[in-house]
Amino acid sequence: MTAAILSGFVLAALAPWVRKVARGWAGWLLALGPLAIVAYFTAQAPHIADGETLSASLNWIPSLGVDLAFYLDGLSLVFAIIISGIGTLIVLYASAYLAGDALEGHFYLYLLFFMASMLGVVLANNLITLFVFWELTSISSYLLIGFKHDKATSRAAALQALLVTGSGGLAMLAGLVLIGQVTGSSTISDLLSQGDTVRASGLYVPILLLVLLGAFAKSAQVPFHFWLPNAMEAPTPVSAYLHSATMVQAGVYLLARLSPVLGGTDEWRVLVIGAGAATMLTGAYLAWLQTDLKRILAYSTISTLGMLVLLVGIGTPLAAKAAVTVLIAHALYKGALFLVAGSLDHETGTRDVTQLGGLWHALPFTGLAALLAAASMAGLPPLFGFIAKEVFYKAAYEAPDLPALLTTLVVTSSVLLVVAAGLVAIKPFFGARVPTPKPPHEAPLRMVLGPLTLATLGAAFGFVPGLLTEYAIKPATEAILAAPAQVELVLWPGLNVILLLSLLTVTLGAGVYAARARLSPPARRLDVGARVGPALGYQKLLDGTLWLADWQTSILQNGYLRYYLITIVATTVGLMGYATLTRVALGGVLRQPDIRLYEALIVAVILAATLAVTQVRSRLAAVAALGTVGYGIALLYILFGAPDLAMTQFAIETLTVVLFVLVLYRLPRFATLTSRAARRRDALIALSAGALMTLLVLIVTADPSRTRLTSYFAYNSATLAKGRNIVNVILVDFRGLDTLGEITVLSVAAAGVFALLKLRPPRKEEATSAPLAEAEAQPSPEEVKPVSLPAMDATVD
């Protein structure tokens, strides 16, 4: 199982290369990866249906209780198959949709990276692991929404999605950590039986609020829903995959997964049902008022997400069953409809419904897929969407709290979704032919395969719901409830209230669809959200943050190196000096030192050189004097048994001189510009820094634990790490993680220097036209003028 998840990352890393080698066949080839994952998970279905669960674990940070642990039960299985199955179709679809795009290889990389991360989310059996994969999906979503990075709207939408879901993710992390503290375990499968501990804890309400924030932000619940329609800037396959079938369902997954732990309380019901119902209604209300196909679908997705959250909130066995059923039905029809929207956009040049009509003859297969999927979305028999809606209505109708209100809201939303379904499937394909920007023709095979497969499955499961029930819906329902459940689904439940409600929904929906020209303008005026909505709040918050950043930057980052140095050194001296003087007993620190003559001589040279640095009237002389200081210190290292440090110091000193010379050449002539007072201040700061360091060294050397450390490393580096050079063993083994961090920082610093010096926008007229890609490329030999390094003596005063 671990291999199935992690192989996605490997495949992602190979994707650009596969694209380069296989060219047009890359889509087919890369789709084999997700297909194999589908096959693997499908093969597990019979075992899971028998009530087994699968778990696997890799040690990650065992000292913190963080393992790369995975767990497969009914709920994660349903998600895993949806993720990898739709992933397969999306890779194929995208290979035709993006054919010829310069960044096609990158696209596969992001997409497969997302798939693997998403599998990680739904299979993680450790709270921290879950969080890490959760954030990886946010990051891949950011890259995918901003895929057309030359468009400002794409970038803004990508950032918005990242900020909203990322902030929610941080809140969720805090909640997850609290759960871990309350229960003493961060293994999810262990937590399922500890719900009472969590609910009885005083931290229950903070935990609930934090986790809900994360889930609601990810699953676009009101008031965080605004990022999802904007995310439609992404290429359509991405919208179909991330922003309807998988990533946005992560919040629903989290709620369903944690409902045995957090659910069942009044707080849970009020918050989850409240948010779900509000989202369901808002999404449905806004969906049918849009004219852009993708925005219609986005708002209807928001509505369905609300329905799922509502069902998880209700929490009865019936509601849990309905949630799984709606989830599967939605993934099938909404995935198909998004892909249809993409095909329409691709083959006609527009996705504005008012400019589409009568295309059935031009795109018959796409049209068929649209029709089947939309019928499922509208809940028409005999499609699977019908069954899903029946169960959903039943769950609302038999809800323990406020059944009448819930049923009314649910039916109202469903009516509006029927209208939305008509808009995406009937309006473009039937009625009068409308001229389109491009002459319409059927989409290529790879772009028909995806929507048609999903739509056909949605139809087929309507006829044989038994298969799906036994292998997917029942195990998943039991996982949500953490208890055995009776689950049956039938296409024809007999004549009852629920069926009448369904009939009412379709009739009203058809009525509104027919009268939409008259109904939508007044309805649009009612949309107060556009004027005072949370999107506005987001913008204000973002602007405020930027203003604050701007303000503090103008104060702290004033552009003068000397002030930076003063700030850093003075702050360090102040804070450390205060802590040292108040916390450390200074008695016994000052003791009679045992100094030899040659040591004193070296120190004298260092001091003289230091003084010289401040007094000489030439920069080159100052650099030379500074070098003397460095070499003197290196000598001291050798005397005190630190040859490694000495070697490094020598090398660094040498390179520093080289760097200085490179920079000196560009500086203006040496002059003393500072006033006497400023120099006095600088001297004072420098001397206090030196005094503090001296004091610290004295304190450290007087500390008896120093010898314990020495003997520990001296003993263990040979026995544990098989090395006799303690310094090196500490660097690469005992504290290897620190070193990894340090070389990463070094690389970032190098990238920073490079960017500052090389990626400046050209000053001349090409400033506006030079594309980013060119500026990032390695400068070609022609661009880089040969620069001989200046002769040291000639150019520096």
Partner 1 sequence: MDSLVLRTATRYLLPLMLLFSIFVLLRGHNAPGGGFVGGLVAASAYALYAIAYDVQRTRQIMPVSPRRLTGVGLLLAVTSGLIGLAAGDPFMTAQRDTRELPVVGKLGTPLLFDIGVYLTVIGVTLTIIFALAEEE
User: Which of 483, 601, 663, 777 touches partner 1 by CB under 8 A?
Assistant: 663
Selected binder of partner 1 within 655, 667, 693, 714 (CB under 8 A): 655
Of 206 and 779, the one with the shorter C-beta distance to partner 1 is 779
Q: How far is the CB of 579 from partner 1 (least distance, A)?
A: 30
Q: Considering only residues 703-722, where is the footprint of partner 1 by CB under 8 A?
A: 721-722
> Which one of 714, 744, 770, 773 is in contact with partner 1 (CB under 8 A)?
744
Q: 690 or 762, CB closer to partner 1?
A: 762
* Secondary structure class of 488 (helix, strand, coil): coil
Instruction: For residue 487, give both structure tokens.
Output: 């689950």
We find the least distance from the C-beta atom of residue 625 to partner 1, in angstroms, to be 21
Contact 255, 310 (CB under 8 A): no
DSSP 187: B
Q: What's the chain's Rg over C-alpha atoms?
A: 33
Task: Indicate the helix (H) or strand (E) that contains 177.
Answer: helix 152-183
Non-local (6+) Cβ contacts of 282 within 8 A are: 222, 225, 302, 303, 306, 529
Contacts of 147 (CB under 8 A, 6+ apart): 103, 106, 107, 110, 154, 234, 235, 238
763 binds partner 1 (CB under 8 A): no
542 binds partner 1 (CB under 8 A): no
Regarding 777 and contact with partner 1 (CB under 8 A), the answer is no
Question: For partner 1, which is the closer residue by CB, 583 or 785?
Answer: 785
- CA 416 to chain centroid, in Å, comes to 32
- Helix, coil or strand: residue 70: strand
For residue 54, what are the β-bridge partners? 72
Q: Does 624 bind partner 1 (CB under 8 A)?
A: no
Which residue lies nearer to partner 1 by CB, 339 or 729? 729
- Give the separation between CA 78 and CA 730, rounded to whole angstroms: 47
786 binds partner 1 (CB under 8 A): yes
**Residues binding partner 1: number (CB under 8 A):** 58
Distance of CA 640 to the CA centre of its chain: 49
**Residue 447 near residue 343 (C-beta atoms within 8 A):** yes
**Smaller CB distance to partner 1: residue 151 or 758?**
758
Instruction: Please identify which residue in 592, 672, 768, 778 interacts with partner 1, judged by CB under 8 A.
Output: 778
Cβ-based nearer residue to partner 1, 223 or 723 = 723
Q: Least separation, in Å, of the C-beta of 729 and partner 1?
A: 7
Q: Is 770 in the site for partner 1 (CB under 8 A)?
A: no
Rounded to whole angstroms, the Cα distance separating 608 from 625 reads: 9
Mapped onto helix, strand or coil, the DSSP state of residue 765 is helix
CA 236 to CA 604: how far, in whole Å? 72
Q: Which is nearer to partner 1, 102 or 737 (CB)?
A: 737
Q: Residue 61: enclosing H or E segment and its boundaries?
A: strand 54-61
Choice between 586 and 662, CB closer to partner 1: 662
Query: What are all long-range contacts of 48-52, with beta carbons under 8 Å and residues at least 24 apart?
Result: 48/72, 48/73, 48/74, 48/77, 48/471, 48/475, 49/74, 49/470, 49/471, 49/474, 49/475, 51/475
Which of 205, 530, 687, 784 binds partner 1 (CB under 8 A)? It is: 784
The reply on whether position 736 binds partner 1 by CB under 8 A is yes
Measured from the CB of residue 726, what is the shortest distance to partner 1 in angstroms?
10
Q: What angle do CA 488, 493, 495 make, to 5 degrees?
A: 160
Binder of partner 1 out of 39, 503, 697, 750 (CB under 8 A): 750
- Does 668 sit near partner 1 (CB under 8 A)? no
In angstroms, what is the minimal distance from the CB of 735 to partner 1? 10
In the complex, least distance from residue 60 CB atom to partner 1, rounded to whole angstroms? 6
Q: How far is the CB of 185 from partner 1 (least distance, A)?
A: 19
CB of 747 to partner 1, least distance (A): 5
Task: Give the per-residue SS3 of 541-572.
Answer: HHHHHHHHHHHHHHHHCCCCHHHHHHHHHHHH
Q: Does 758 bind partner 1 (CB under 8 A)?
A: yes
Query: Under the criterion CB under 8 A, does residue 787 sit at the interface with partner 1?
Result: yes
Q: Is 687 in the site for partner 1 (CB under 8 A)?
A: no
Give the nearer residue to partner 1 in terms of CB position, either 531 or 666: 666
| Contact by Cβ (8 Å): 118, 137 | yes
Residue of the chain from 10, 61, 601, 608 that contacts partner 1 (CB under 8 A): 61
How far is the C-alpha of 714 from the C-alpha of 446, rounded, in Å? Answer: 64
The yes or no reply on residue 658 touching partner 1 (CB under 8 A) is: yes
Render 676-688 in DSSP notation, one character per residue: HHHHHHHHHHHHH
Give the pairing type, strands 66-72 and 54-61.
antiparallel
Among 60, 365, 430, 713, which residue sits at the site for partner 1 (rule: CB under 8 A)?
Answer: 60
Closest CA to 41 of 75, 91, 90: 75
| 55's tokens | 């778990």
- Tell me how far apart the alpha carbons of residues 185 and 178 are, in angstroms, rounded to a whole number: 10
* Minimal distance, residue 139 CB to partner 1, in Å: 17
Among 101, 352, 398, 733, binds partner 1 (CB under 8 A): 733
List all residues 6 or more positions away from 367 whose beta carbon is below 8 Å from its beta carbon: 359, 360, 429
Selected from 167, 572, 610, 725, the binder of partner 1 by CB under 8 A is 725
Q: Do 262 and 272 meet the contact criterion of CB atoms below 8 Å apart?
A: no
Half-sphere exposure of 518 (CA within 13 A, CB side): 4
Question: Which of 524, 552, 724, 777 is in the footprint of partner 1 by CB under 8 A?
Answer: 724
**Taking CB under 8 A as the rule, does residue 754 contact partner 1?**
yes
Q: Of 607 and 749, which has the nearer Cβ to partner 1?
A: 749
CB of 218 to partner 1, least distance (A): 27
- Which residues of this chain interact with partner 1, rule CB under 8 A? 58-63, 68, 643-644, 647-648, 651-652, 654-655, 658-659, 662-663, 666, 721-725, 727-729, 731-733, 736-737, 739-740, 743-744, 746-747, 749-751, 753-754, 757-758, 778-779, 781, 784-792
